């Protein structure tokens, strides 16, 4: 990495952190520390909500996913705007009326303490475990590609985020996130423009889209209904709607962003801004991935993007087989490049027969490329037992570090670090506020002063920061655990959403019925995960229906407090 890149990277991160700390340095009371004194404007909340959801993996995995699988992942976000509208109408007025610090506080006033505690516990378990991965996932990719020390990268992200979140609480999270979002969007826009400029002479955006379309990468909407398929219009609209409803309506890392609004109207606008901007933003990120794919149709890509894992083959007895695959890959690349250039030429001449002929050659070459790549993956797998083999996560950063001009590399790395820091800060802040408000203040130390709870919030932020850093440091030895935590997280959302849906819309349901329905639902979800192949997006809908359904079934048999 050049001096200019280091300058851009360090300068961007340092400016954002120092700005956030300086703006929020004054001592605060609990409402200020956990709810930003209700001073946030809609656009600040909108940016904060988006920065919380956009983790570093969004900017590393998503372009890689488009590179590999096309743009169909966009459908995952189709339910999000619908959820923003529903939450604006229902959840926000309720949270504001009760002046809650956390979403779970509301559950006690509606149901009982144990239902509040159950929801808070599920959140702490899920978010507490996954935040370590939010730090670890980008750190491992950055350290592999750039040769950075993994431990130092994890410590840097974890300690810096803990520092400014402890100092300024929710306000610091929000102040830094708006700058982080500006860097992220600006960086990705710049990347999109530069990728097109890096394409060979005579290949512009229009030709790039033709090449991408021929290779099946512009598969944005799939109307077929298949519950086992993760990404189609229906799973996106229905499953994505329930997932977004759960994430934005009941996950404190998001609820905490919009509880700090000046008014109900400001919070609503913040959520609706997210609903308007999220889909085009994801489109941009996926488009960058597709453009990187097109770039690699003209310039030879590596056989396998995770060079560290590939080197475990090239330095073993598998080296001759690997060299053979690389030679095959180069031959296929040349075939495909010639066909792609023929396609571009035919497209420019408006020669449909030529386009069709070239497309067929591209598709044949692509089939051969996939075959060789599968063999390479199998070879890597035999030499990297038990590790994550998704090398698509390495596509974008490999492209950035090898192809982009000086200065832009630093900016794109700042994008990744900003995303990691923004989502981690929200997680630390929400974990601390839930621990203080729903556990410490509610059951351990109920009558302390406001200053005491602010101090406790700071210490809990430090504590959760420490837990997450510790988990991230040891995650490299526990690859299987990482996958387990990711899956576990997606299994809780339906149950938590079911509790809140019961609270918002089913006045006849009371605390005991909902509590036991939630416990039963969680068991059923685990069983469904173990014994069926249902795509995980559907668990949100199933969990919600089960909590409400079982709640009504149990209602006649359980005694409720008056």
Partner 1 sequence: MTKGDIDPPPFFKSWTSMYWLVLGVLAAFILLFYLITEAYK
- List residues near partner 1 by CB under 8 A: 74, 78, 81-82, 84-85, 88-89, 93, 96-97, 209-210, 212-214, 218-223, 233, 263-265, 268-269, 272, 275-276, 279-280, 283
Minimum Å gap between C-beta 81 and partner 1 is 4
For residues 242 and 255, give the distance between their C-alpha atoms in angstroms, rounded to a whole number.
16
Residues 289 and 64: beta-carbon distance below 8 Å: yes
Q: In the complex with partner 1, which residue's Cβ is closer, 328 or 351? A: 351
Residue indicated by tokens 């610090």: 101
Minimum Å gap between C-beta 217 and partner 1 is 8
Residues 537 and 239: beta-carbon distance below 8 Å: yes
H helix intervals, 506-558: 511-531, 538-554
As a three-state string, the secondary structure of 196-224 is HHHCCCCCCHHHHHHHHHHCCCCCCCCCC
For residues 477 and 470, give the distance between their C-alpha atoms in angstroms, rounded to a whole number.
12
Minimum Å gap between C-beta 224 and partner 1 is 12
Q: In the complex with partner 1, which residue's Cβ is closer, 213 or 463? A: 213
Q: In the complex with partner 1, which residue's Cβ is closer, 326 or 355? A: 355
SS3 assignment, position 454: helix
CA angle 504, 506, 507 (to 5 degrees): 90
Residues 339 and 358: beta-carbon distance below 8 Å: yes
For residues 197 and 432, give the distance between their C-alpha atoms in angstroms, rounded to a whole number.
46
Q: In the complex with partner 1, which residue's Cβ is closer, 64 or 275? A: 275
Minimum Å gap between C-beta 360 and partner 1 is 15
Minimum Å gap between C-beta 233 and partner 1 is 7
Nearest to 96 by CA among 260, 316, 279: 260
Nearest to 188 by CA among 277, 270, 123: 277
Residues 16 and 175: beta-carbon distance below 8 Å: no
Minimum Å gap between C-beta 206 and partner 1 is 11
Minimum Å gap between C-beta 342 and partner 1 is 18
**Alpha-carbon dihedral angle through residues 225, 231, 233, 236, given to the nearest 10 degrees:** 120
For residues 453 and 472, give the distance between their C-alpha atoms in angstroms, rounded to a whole number.
28
Q: In the complex with partner 1, which residue's Cβ is closer, 294 or 417? A: 294
Minimum Å gap between C-beta 120 and partner 1 is 25
Minimum Å gap between C-beta 313 and partner 1 is 36
Q: In the complex with partner 1, which residue's Cβ is closer, 84 or 379? A: 84
Minimum Å gap between C-beta 71 and partner 1 is 8
Minimum Å gap between C-beta 85 and partner 1 is 5
Q: In the complex with partner 1, which residue's Cβ is closer, 234 or 298? A: 234
Q: In the complex with partner 1, which residue's Cβ is closer, 218 or 547? A: 218
Q: In the complex with partner 1, which residue's Cβ is closer, 113 or 277? A: 277
Q: In the complex with partner 1, which residue's Cβ is closer, 224 or 533? A: 224
Q: In the complex with partner 1, which residue's Cβ is closer, 42 or 539? A: 42
Minimum Å gap between C-beta 429 and partner 1 is 27
For residues 53 and 513, give the distance between their C-alpha atoms in angstroms, rounded to a whole number.
32
Q: In the complex with partner 1, which residue's Cβ is closer, 90 or 384? A: 90
- Cα dihedral 353, 355, 361, 366 sign: negative
Q: What Rg, from alpha-carbon coordinates, does the chain have?
A: 25
Nearest to 119 by CA among 547, 553, 559: 547
For residues 78 and 244, give the distance between their C-alpha atoms in angstroms, rounded to a whole number.
10
Q: In the complex with partner 1, which residue's Cβ is closer, 21 or 82? A: 82
The helix or strand, by DSSP H or E, that contains position 119, with its residue range, turns out to be helix 113-146
Q: What is the DSSP letter of 436?
A: I
Q: What is the DSSP letter of 261?
A: B
Minimum Å gap between C-beta 280 and partner 1 is 7
Residues 523 and 473: beta-carbon distance below 8 Å: no
For residues 410 and 9, give the distance between their C-alpha atoms in angstroms, rounded to a whole number.
5
> What is the helix, strand, coil percentage profile of the chain, to 5?
80, 0, 20
């Amino acid at each position: 990495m050049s001096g200019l890149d280091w300058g851009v990277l360090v300068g961007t991160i340092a400016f954002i952190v120092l700005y956030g700390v300086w703006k929020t340095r004054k001592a605060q009371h609990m409402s200020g520390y956990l709810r930003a004194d209700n001073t946030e404007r809609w656009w600040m909340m909108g940016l904060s909500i988006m920065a919380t959801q956009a983790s570093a993996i969004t900017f590393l995995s998503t372009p890689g996913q488009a590179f590999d699988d096309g743009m169909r992942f966009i459908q995952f976000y189709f339910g999000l705007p619908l959820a923003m509208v529903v939450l604006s109408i229902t959840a926000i007025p309720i949270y504001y009326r009760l002046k809650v610090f956390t979403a779970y506080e509301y559950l006690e006033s509606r149901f009982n303490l144990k239902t509040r505690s159950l929801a808070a516990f599920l959140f702490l378990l899920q978010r507490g475990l996954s935040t370590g991965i939010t730090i670890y996932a980008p750190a491992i990719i950055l350290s592999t590609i750039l040769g950075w020390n993994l431990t130092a990268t994890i410590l840097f992200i974890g300690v810096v985020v803990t520092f400014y979140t402890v100092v300024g609480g929710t306000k610091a999270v929000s102040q830094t996130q708006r700058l982080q979002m500006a860097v992220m969007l600006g960086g990705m826009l710049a990347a999109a423009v530069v990728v097109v400029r890096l394409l060979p002479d005579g290949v512009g955006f229009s030709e790039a889209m033709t090449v991408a379309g021929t290779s099946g990468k512009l598969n944005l909407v799939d109307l077929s209904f298949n519950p086992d398929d993760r990404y189609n219009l229906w799973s996106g609209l229905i499953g994505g709607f329930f997932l977004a409803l759960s994430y934005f309506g009941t996950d404190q890392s998001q609820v905490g962003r919009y509880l700090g609004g000046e008014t109900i109207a400001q919070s609503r606008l913040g959520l609706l801004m997210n609903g308007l901007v999220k889909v085009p933003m994801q489109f941009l990120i996926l488009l960058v991935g597709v453009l990187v794919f097109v770039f690699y149709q003209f310039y030879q890509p590596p056989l396998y993007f995770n060079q560290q894992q590939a080197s475990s083959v090239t330095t073993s007895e598998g080296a001759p087989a690997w060299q053979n695959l690389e030679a095959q890959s180069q031959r296929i690349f040349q075939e495909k490049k010639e066909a792609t250039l023929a396609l571009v030429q035919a497209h420019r001449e408006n020669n449909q027969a030529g386009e069709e002929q070239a497309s067929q050659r591209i598709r044949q070459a692509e089939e051969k490329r996939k075959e060789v790549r599968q063999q390479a993956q199998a070879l890597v797998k035999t030499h990297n037992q038990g590790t994550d083999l998704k090398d698509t996560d390495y596509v974008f950063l490999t492209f950035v570090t090898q192809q982009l001009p000086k200065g832009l590399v630093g900016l794109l790395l700042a994008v990744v670090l900003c995303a990691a820091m923004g989502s981690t800060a929200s997680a630390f802040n929400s974990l601390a506020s839930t621990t203080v408000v729903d556990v410490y203040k509610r059951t351990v130390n109920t009558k302390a002063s406001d200053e005491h709870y602010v101090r406790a919030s700071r210490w809990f932020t430090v504590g959760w920061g420490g837990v997450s850093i510790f988990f991230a440091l040891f995650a490299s030895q526990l690859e299987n655990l990482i996958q387990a935590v990711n899956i576990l997280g997606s299994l809780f959302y339906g149950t938590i959403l079911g509790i809140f849906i019961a609270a918002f819309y089913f006045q006849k349901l009371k605390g005991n019925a909902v509590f036991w329905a939630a416990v039963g639902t969680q068991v059923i979800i685990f069983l469904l995960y173990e014994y069926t192949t249902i795509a995980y997006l559907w668990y949100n809908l199933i969990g919600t229906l089960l909590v409400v359904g079982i709640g009504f079934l149990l209602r006649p048999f359980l005694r409720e407090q008056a």
